[in-house]
Amino acid sequence: MTDPTGTTDTTTTVDERKGVSRRRLFGAVGAGAALAGAGALVGRATAAEPPFSHADVVAFRGEHQAGVVTPAQDRMHFVAFDVTTKSREELEALLKKWTVMAERMTAGEEATPDGAIGDGLYVPPSDTGEALGLAASQLTLTIGFGPSLFDDRFGFASKKPAALEELPHFRADNLDPARSGGDIAIQACANDPQVAVHAIRNLARVAFGTASVRWSQLGFGRTSSTSTTQDTPRNLFGFKDGTNNIKAEETDVVDENVWVAYGDDQPWMAGGTYLVARRIRMLIEQWDRTVLGEQERVIGRSKGSGAPLSGKAEFDELDLDSKKGHDPVIDVDAHVRLASAQELGGIQILRRGYNFTDGSDGFGHLDAGLFFIAYCRNPQEQFVPMQLNLSRNDAMNEYIQHVGSALFVCPPGLAEGQYWGQGLFT
């Protein structure tokens, strides 16, 4: 694991932030000692504490939302909400409240000032408290809006971007409506799973009556690198994943493929992006009974080094033309070939998925796979043609099943004083 300290301008230290961080509350005493007695917590925000030794806080505000090109954190809690109110005012009020809470939590603070223990004995604490003493852990909270939010309920129809059309049915899709769609999505990523869960939990609980959770997904291992500072991780098939992913440092490529530009579509969307989420169940047991040679043929890379079968080292270029006798070295239906920019006329997306395991199903098989998240400038021109190609031809289809699907439009980042979704209301 590389240390991302100071490698990008999206990180800052907590010392630059106002307020008392959860970590600072405990100060030099440390969480373990502080837990010895709740009474000892009060007033521990003293000056005599060590400064943060690592860049732990990702800036909440900026030109773009954090959590897209931010170096992928280790853990994720993703949630999709249905808006249950019919009131535009209530929805706007919730988004404002969420924004305040989200900004606080990404800075390592409680959802509300002193909310875990300071509200008194007779009200449910306004912060649930399980993140007390935990660092900000590079928490990012990224919001997106689904096509369904632009129906006739709130008067957003005229603000709907053209590319925010429901994804088509892809071959062999086996989608569960209870794991698909949603009016609003929030992606929480952090290096500590408890921090990510805390964030979503606290946002969800203030939403009751206005929005309710439609589905959610926990992810425990990033399955792609979004920065050159990161090693390439492995997915649950045991293969390196994300070697050819777009990297944050390639700003031209990012601008070309990820961020919506002025003039692309709705003006309020400039600087935003689209989020495609797919819950891809991996048929782990079948895969584990597959011989190594077949596994590598299906993927198109060697399992050990991650090198394309046409090369020797991980980052060697994918050579789709190389032959072994009459046959291509990288099979015609190998996953890397079908997903490559060369094959797709230059199409690229920024992948940001996570491994998931939700225990086992009733057959004793792991309910596990890849929670695929992609960010792109136009899903209809990028994700859709890519997935059409993969769903028809990918050798990997024998070992996976798409069981959940959703599409969201993510607005641009917030300037000081702005709130989530402001572009929809103004």
> What phi, psi does 170 have (nearest 5°)?
-95, 150
Structural contact between residues 72 and 226, judged by C-beta atoms closer than 8 angstroms: yes
Stretch that binds other proteins, among 207-215, 300-308, 340-348, 360-368 (CB under 8 A): 207-215
Structural contact between residues 280 and 400, judged by C-beta atoms closer than 8 angstroms: yes
For residue 124, state whether it binds other proteins (rule: CB under 8 A): yes
For residue 123, state whether it binds other proteins (rule: CB under 8 A): yes
Cα–Cα distance measured from residue 116 to residue 35, given in angstroms and rounded to the nearest whole number: 14
For residue 122, state whether it binds other proteins (rule: CB under 8 A): yes
Between residues 1 and 123, which has the closer beta carbon with respect to other proteins? 123
For residue 304, state whether it binds other proteins (rule: CB under 8 A): no
Structural contact between residues 421 and 272, judged by C-beta atoms closer than 8 angstroms: no
Helix or strand or coil: residue 143? strand
Between residues 212 and 342, which has the closer beta carbon with respect to other proteins? 212
Between residues 180 and 348, which has the closer beta carbon with respect to other proteins? 180
Please report, for residues 166, 204, 295, 390, 401, the alpha-carbon distance to residue 170 in angstroms, rounded to integers and kept in the order given: 12, 31, 24, 9, 11
For residue 121, state whether it binds other proteins (rule: CB under 8 A): yes
For residue 205, state whether it binds other proteins (rule: CB under 8 A): yes
Between residues 120 and 364, which has the closer beta carbon with respect to other proteins? 120
Structural contact between residues 270 and 342, judged by C-beta atoms closer than 8 angstroms: no
Least distance from other proteins to the Cβ atom of residue 56, Å: 32
For residue 346, state whether it binds other proteins (rule: CB under 8 A): no
> What phi, psi does 252 have (nearest 5°)?
-65, -45
Task: Go through 236-275 and write b for each residue having 16 or more CB atoms within 10 A of its CB, e for each that does not.
Answer: bbebbbbbbbbbbeeeeebeebbbbeeebbbebbbbbbbb
Least distance from other proteins to the Cβ atom of residue 89, Å: 13
For residue 119, state whether it binds other proteins (rule: CB under 8 A): yes
Size of the residue set binding other proteins (CB under 8 A)? 13
Give which of 70, 414, 383 is closest to 248, Cα–Cα.
70
For residue 84, state whether it binds other proteins (rule: CB under 8 A): yes
Between residues 1 and 121, which has the closer beta carbon with respect to other proteins? 121
The site map against other proteins for 134-173 (x = CB under 8 A) is: ----------------------------------------
For residue 120, state whether it binds other proteins (rule: CB under 8 A): yes
Please report, for residues 256, 287, 302, 382, the alpha-carbon distance to residue 293 in angstroms, rounded to integers and kept in the order given: 37, 12, 9, 31
HSE, side-chain direction, 13 A CA sphere, residue 56: 22
Stretch that binds other proteins, among 51-59, 208-216, 296-304, 408-416 (CB under 8 A): 208-216
Which residues is 212 bridged to in the sheet? 82
Stretch that binds other proteins, among 115-123, 257-265, 279-287, 353-361 (CB under 8 A): 115-123
> What phi, psi does 408 have (nearest 5°)?
-140, 150
Q: For 377, left (φ over 0), alpha (ψ -120 to 50), or beta?
A: alpha
Least distance from other proteins to the Cβ atom of residue 116, Å: 15
Least distance from other proteins to the Cβ atom of residue 206, Å: 8
Stretch that binds other proteins, among 113-121, 149-157, 215-223, 354-362 (CB under 8 A): 113-121
Cα–Cα distance measured from residue 121 to residue 101, given in angstroms and rounded to the nearest whole number: 22
Least distance from other proteins to the Cβ atom of residue 37, Å: 17
For residue 212, state whether it binds other proteins (rule: CB under 8 A): yes
**Cα torsion angle, 196, 352, 231, 258, sign:** negative
For other proteins, the binding residue among 208, 220, 228, 415 (CB under 8 A) is: 208
Please report, for residues 218, 250, 252, the alpha-carbon distance to residue 374 in angstroms, rounded to integers and kept in the order given: 16, 17, 18
Least distance from other proteins to the Cβ atom of residue 183, Å: 13
Least distance from other proteins to the Cβ atom of residue 205, Å: 7
**Residue linked to tokens 């209809």:** 380
Structural contact between residues 375 and 91, judged by C-beta atoms closer than 8 angstroms: no
For residue 37, state whether it binds other proteins (rule: CB under 8 A): no
Stretch that binds other proteins, among 48-56, 121-129, 260-268, 290-298 (CB under 8 A): 121-129
Least distance from other proteins to the Cβ atom of residue 3, Å: 41
Element (H, E) at 222: strand 221-222
Between residues 47 and 123, which has the closer beta carbon with respect to other proteins? 123
Least distance from other proteins to the Cβ atom of residue 211, Å: 9
CA 397 to chain centre: 23
Q: Which residues bind other proteins (CB under 8 A)?
A: 84, 119-124, 205-206, 208-210, 212
